[in-house]
Structure 1
Amino acid sequence: MSDRLTGIALTWRVERRDGIALGLTSHDRDLRIDGFDYRAAPGMTPSAVKRSDDLSADTMEVGGALTGAAITERALLAGRWDGARVAVAAVDWTSGTVIAELGEGRIGAVEVADNGFTAELAGLAALLDRPVAEATAPECRAELGDVRCRVALAPRRRFARVVAGDGAILTLDMAEPTANAYGGGRLRWFGGGNGGLDSAVAASSGDRVTLRSPPAEAPEGALVELIEGCDKSLATCAGRFANAANFRGEPYLPGIDLLTRYPGG
């Protein structure tokens, strides 16, 4: 029994949204299990794994050191690990066999401090915490281009090159097709230090776009894909997209903000 207990180690297989996979272990040396390498650096330290047989969410936390070979502070702050899929397992490091699958989830909140990091993992049961019924609102609840909106996004995606960057404001080598076309949309980075990341666009005007937060790396010369956005108002849905039939909001339904919604109300 003593040999069985001392031969147990924990492993984490982390798969980022851009397809990069990384194996980490709590053991003091690298392990190879089922043809996949699990690195001892950055020395992952887990909290207690909370599992339940009811509908409550499974959660845990893991912590580790920031190392250039595995996980860097810059990559964490840039959001490269946000939403990454994580599979946790207990293995026998003496034979390389999996003893138990402890669960899987996605990385949530990440904190960086004192040359280390702590990441919260939320299991699949956490999805049950979402509201069952949608609340009424004057704005559309669909996302531009999804199955409820039905606006075709293919003609509303364009590639451009970043000419200059000033914080969150980027100057491109092309102008927008309509006023504030990319406001509320997305900007995807191809190549360069920001390659593989997405940025939310707050507003656009002419050949300039304003991001909600500055890019992690210098943007000059980078190739980007711009995806149009929507302010979710009925006027924009009908006038710009001719899609009022699929509008998912209640712009004329009185609410508790009735007196403040209109000037002089």
Structure 2
Amino acid sequence: MVMPDVMRAAPGWLREELVTLAWCWRLARRDGVVVGLTSHDRDLIVGGIPYRAAPGMKPSALDTNDSLDVATMDLEGAVTSDAIAARDLDAGRWDGAELELFVTDWSAPETAPVTVARGSLGAIERRGPAFAAELQGVTRLLDQPVCPATSPSCRAMMGDRACRVDLAPLTQARRVVAVDGRMATLDIAAPGMAFGELMWMEGANSGLSSPVIAVEAAVLHLAEAPAFAVPGPMRVRITQGCDKQLATCRDRFANAVNFRGEAHLPGNDLLTRYPGG
């Protein structure tokens, strides 16, 4: 692993002839779960967080430099029941997790560590009892468009800073009493749930959410079936959605002033239109 920038700013303990060095990985999931792993043969406490010995974890070669090229790194490890469980990987709990890779002095873990790389987990691939994940650097954000492209529908996400609709009165606690594939039946009807979201609040699916693509009285048609079986009634949190059309934004939410689309702008099919078409 090439680390010219790290070595130039390395502390004294990292410049010794004999270095007591340990690799550490700090992974933070989007639901707030934080896991610490280390290449050392014993568990370490760094910054108040326990880092469990995980000799199966290993990073690929990483080259740091002063350019703005998007740097990525592959991370491989074993699936363990108490740290990174196979069912959590399959359910997508680790998708987009923030990761920090650093080195520390295992003989004095209270010493300030040296960060080598940080970013978020990209594509995760299961390989039998092991997994491989891609670490995407922060410079990936430079690939985002400078300004949004025009669109007839709203580009904002329901309730975000651009939309500004208050989701509190549109969010309710309910119970799912039955699940059949991608259809979840609530205890009572829930109007306005098309294009909304259902989040499981208990059971094996707790913390996972699924978009709602359609609703029929108390039956919600989910974009995907629950990752784990639902043995009985379960508490869920449902949030109403929006079809991103100007009429809905204006008539239902009285929020046309924040509509992020160009509903009246002629589209690419303007020249192909004809009277009565």
Q: Same fold (TM over 0.5)?
A: yes
Normalised TM-score (structure 2): 0.86
Give yes or no for the alignment of 1:72 onto 2:97.
no
One of 233, 239, 247 as aligned partner of 1:227: 239
C-alpha distance in 1, partners of 2:233/2:273?
Answer: 44
CA deviations on 1:110-165 (whole Å, 9 max, x unpaired) are 11122111111122222121111100010111112222222221111111100000
Q: Distance in 1 between matches of 2:275 and 2:223?
A: 29
**Mind listing any 5+ residue stretches in structure 1 that lack a counterpart?**
none
- 1:154/1:262 CA distance change after superposition, 3 Å: farther
Q: Letter of the aligned partner of 1:211 in structure 2?
A: L
Alpha-carbon deviations, 1:5-35, whole Å to 9, x = none? xx32210011122222111112333223233
Match of 1:115 in 2: 129
Report if aligned partners of 1:46, 1:62 keep a CA contact under 8 Å in 2: yes
CA distance in 2, matches of 1:81, 1:141: 26
Q: Answer yes or no: is the 8 Å Cα contact 1:90–1:98 preserved in 2.
A: no
Q: Which residue of 2 aligns with 1:217?
A: 228
For 2:96 and 2:81, locate their aligned partners in 1 and report how far apart those are by CA, in whole Å.
21
Corresponding residue to 2:206 among 195, 198, 205: 195
Asked if the contact 1:28/1:43 (under 8 Å) is kept, the reply is no
Deviations 1:166-209 (A, max 9, x none): 111100001123xxx22222211112111122222222221011
Q: What number of residue pairs does the alignment pair up?
A: 260
Check 1:263–1:38 CA distance in 2 against 1; reply closer, same or farther (3 A cut): farther
SS at match of 1:125: helix
| Number of the residue aligned with 1:183 | 194
User: Where do 1:114-263 residues align within 5 Å?
Assistant: 114-177=128-191, 181-219=192-230, 220-258=232-270
Tell which deviates more after alignment, 134-143 or 189-198: 189-198
Unaligned 5+ segments in structure 2 are: 1-15
Q: Distance in 1 between matches of 2:87 and 2:225?
A: 13
Residue-by-residue CA offset, 1:199-247 (whole Å, 9 max, x unaligned): 2222222101111111112233111111111111112212222222221
SS at match of 2:18: helix
Q: Percent identity?
A: 51
Equivalent-residue separation in structure 1 for 2:151 and 2:132 (angstroms): 36
Query: Matches of 2:199 and 2:53 in 1, distance apart?
Result: 33
Distance (whole Å) between structure 2 residues aligned to residue 261 and residue 208 of structure 1: 39
Secondary structure of the residue aligned to 1:3 is coil
Q: 2-side partners of 1:149 and 1:99: how far apart?
A: 41
Aligned equivalents of 2:132, 2:17: Cα separation in 1: 31
Moved more, 152-161 or 21-30: 21-30
Query: Does structure 1 residue 81 correspond to structure 2 residue 94?
Result: yes
Aligned to 1:100: 114
Query: Contact (CA 8 Å) 1:42, 1:71: kept in 2 or not?
Result: no
Q: What secondary structure, in the 3-state scheme, does the structure 1 residue paired with 2:175 have?
A: strand
The more displaced of 96-105 and 220-229 is 96-105
The 4+ residue runs of structure 1 with deviation greater than 4 A are 259-264
- State whether residues 40 and 55 of structure 2, in contact with CA within 8 Å, keep that contact through their aligned partners in structure 1: no
RMSD of Structure 2 on Structure 1 (CA):
2.1
1:14 is matched with which residue: 10, 27, 45?
A: 27
Q: 1:51 aligned to 2:64?
A: yes
Name which of structure 1's ranges 69-78 and 36-45 shifts more when overlaid on structure 2: 36-45
Query: CA 1:248–1:34 in structure 2 vs 1: closer, same or farther (change >3 Å)?
Result: closer
